[in-house]
Amino acid sequence: MCRNIRTLFNFEPPATRNEMHDASLQFVRKISGYTHPSKANEAAFHAAVEEIEAVVRKLLKSLDTDAPPKDREVVAAKARERAKERYGMT
């Protein structure tokens, strides 16, 4: 999976439309192989992003869990720590 696609479910505050759009865009980029589509493929590319974003919204609304919501700041701090260890950043 693309590194830039993040988990969006069970966070407080919930995922924003912008986060859902960004994840959808990254998914379409990965599948199509295009960072920026040509003019000939632009309409299909953007339509796919919109359709996937709608599916993502529907999915996140329909999922249910008994687990407490995760805190975005805590998850981000853990990711930064893992990156420091992995890449030797100080």
Q: What is the tens place of the pLDDT at every residue in 11-43?
A: 988 999 999 999 999 999 999 999 999 999 999
How far, in whole angstroms, is CA 14 from its chain's centroid? 13
Please say if the pLDDT value at position 4 is more than 90. Answer: no
Q: How many residues does the chain have?
A: 90
Tokens of 90: 């100080």
Write down the pTM of the prediction: 0.80
Cα separation, 26 vs 72, whole angstroms: 20
